[in-house]
Structure 1
């Protein structure tokens, strides 16, 4: 697998704890758009137009590419985490989901937080990243 693909998946994993916040921010941007001030005094639009902003909002939220991409990323990571064992979950949580990781993989092994060898721990991490990349469509076998 390419180094750039690994880095992309790692960046997505680091953003995983903040995905819900990103989705909420994007929905707020769509719900309350910033409208430019109309400085055209006396001219311009008709005042008795039909207001269909609610319908447009629903369609916009369903079709927004950024929201759909974030939801897909969240779903893929959730599915990958459901398929792995406890040791892999601990490794991924410590290395990617924490704001300030306390341990490296060696530290997790030394302190008895995971019960696998060093080689197996690196393999579990690599396999998880590989599975996520495959599900995200970033890497084909």
Structure 2
């Protein structure tokens, strides 16, 4: 895997805990858009009348950014489910925590994971490669 793709996937993983907030924020932006005042006084009428609720549902379903965030979260969750608990502990400690307590060596020494050093790095790499394949970056 190329270094840029590896770093990009690591960035996505570090941002994973914030994805629900991004989704909520984007939904709020779409449901309550900024209204600009209409300068057209006495203008014509629209030929198609769509209720605001229908417009909001269509917008939420078709928004690319919102769908990309949901897809990203789903792919990370699915990839985590495919791997064992050791990989989940490694990824959680290295990427999901705000303040990292342990390195891979620290996880092994503290008996948080039950594999050797080379196997731990292999699990991390395989996880990132699998996620990269699903995201289309590898």
Q: Which stretch of the first structure deviates more once superposed, 89-98 or 29-38? A: 29-38
Alpha carbon RMSD of aligned pairs, Å?
Answer: 1.8
Residue 53 of structure 2: aligned partner: 54
Which residue of 11, 34, 43 maps to 2:41?
43
Name structure 2 gaps, 5 residues minimum.
Answer: none
Separation in 1, partners of 2:42, 2:106: 67
Please report how far the alpha carbon of residue 45 of structure 1 lies from its aligned counterpart in structure 2 after TM superposition: 3.8
Residue 70 of structure 1: aligned partner: 69
Deviations 1:61-116 (A, max 9, x none): 00100111111111111111111111100000000010111011111111111111
Separation in 1, partners of 2:79, 2:43: 52
Please report how far the alpha carbon of residue 51 of structure 1 lies from its aligned counterpart in structure 2 after TM superposition: 5.2
Size of the aligned set, in residue pairs, is: 137
Separation in 1, partners of 2:71, 2:41: 45
Residue 112 of structure 1: aligned partner: 111
TM-score (norm 1): 0.89
